[in-house]
Amino acid sequence: MYSQVPYENNSEKKYDLIEFVENSQSRCPYIVLVDSSGSMKGEPINELNEGLKLFKNALTKNELASKRVELAVISFDSTIKNHTDGFISPRDYEPVEIEAEGVTRMNLAIKTAYSLIQIRKDQYKAAGVSYYRPWIVLITDGTPTDTEGEPLEFNSSEFQEIVDLVHEGEAEKKFSFFAIGVGDDVDMEALSQICTPNRPPKKLSGMKFKELFRWLSDSAVSRSSSTIGEKVALPSIDGWAED
């Protein structure tokens, strides 16, 4: 029996080897980090919620992707909420309406994602299940803040910790990290600091969340149908990203 516990949080969900016996397919894990701070209220959070539903439906329709892709959906505001209680198959994922409130504890969300990936990889290895490199996809309209809503200074220990986590994780091929900025007030400089130079942040064009999640689902389908380690050409981002 293996416990899967999010970073600095307790979870009662347990994982038994039976899940790998019932489905011995290779796993392709995706973590979607969703900014649910107060500034996302209104159209942004509504469109994002619709995008998550599209994401689930698109993956469920593909038989192989529905068996190989695993999702973890985490929202972050003043607190961190794991809406999938760890990782879950697309078929079992039931999107809930994420509400916008509070500040932007992005640093805790990134640390949570890192911890979840490490734990899940250990479970794969213990069960003898192969896996694709995990993806972490961050969607935000702001900048990392402290508990009072003040932006973290770039030279602060809290900010540098997540920069180091992302850069070291990418360098060691533990995961691939993608950041998407939303709206006019997003701090693209902060996202550029967090992301690696070879995978800079992208800016969402308008409110094209559905197009973003369609790209994400198409990418997941392509990757999960490939051989592990094979270089896969991803779909164009032209449909959702600004030039």
Instruction: Give the pLDDT score at 87.
Output: 95
Residue 5 lies in a domain: no
Q: Assign residue 232 a region (left: φ > 0; alpha: ψ between -120 and 50; beta: otherwise).
A: beta
What percent of the chain shows pLDDT beyond 70?
A: 93
Residue 65 has pLDDT above 80, yes or no: yes
Who's near 12: CB < 8 A, 6+ residues apart? none
The amino acid occupying position 238 is D
Residue 11 has pLDDT above 50, yes or no: no
Q: What is the mean pLDDT of residues 126-139?
A: 96
Residue 210 lies in a domain: yes
Task: Work out the number of other CB atoms within 10 angstroms of the CB of residue 74.
Answer: 24
Q: For residue range 208-219, list pLDDT tens digits in order.
A: 999 999 999 999
Residue 230 has pLDDT above 50, yes or no: yes
Rounded Cα distance, 136 and 113, in Å: 7
Q: For residue range 142-161, list pLDDT tens digits in order.
A: 999 999 999 999 999 999 99
Residue 4 has pLDDT above 70, yes or no: no
Rounded Cα distance, 20 and 27, in Å: 10
Residue 148 lies in a domain: yes
Residue 232 lies in a domain: no
Residue 108 lies in a domain: yes
Rounded Cα distance, 65 and 18, in Å: 20
Mean pLDDT taken over the chain: 92
Among 7-21, 35-49, 206-220, which is the least confidently predicted range? Answer: 7-21
Residue 233 lies in a domain: no
Q: Against a cut of 0.75, is the pTM above it? A: yes
Number of domains in the chain: 1
Residue 111 lies in a domain: yes
Among 16-20, 42-46, 51-55, 89-93, which is the least confidently predicted range? Answer: 16-20
Residue 3 lies in a domain: no
Domain of 169? 25-224
Instruction: Give the pLDDT score at 24.
Output: 83
CATH number at residue 142: 3.40.50.410
Q: For residue range 194-205, list pLDDT tens digits in order.
A: 999 999 999 999
Instruction: Give the pLDDT score at 17.
Output: 65
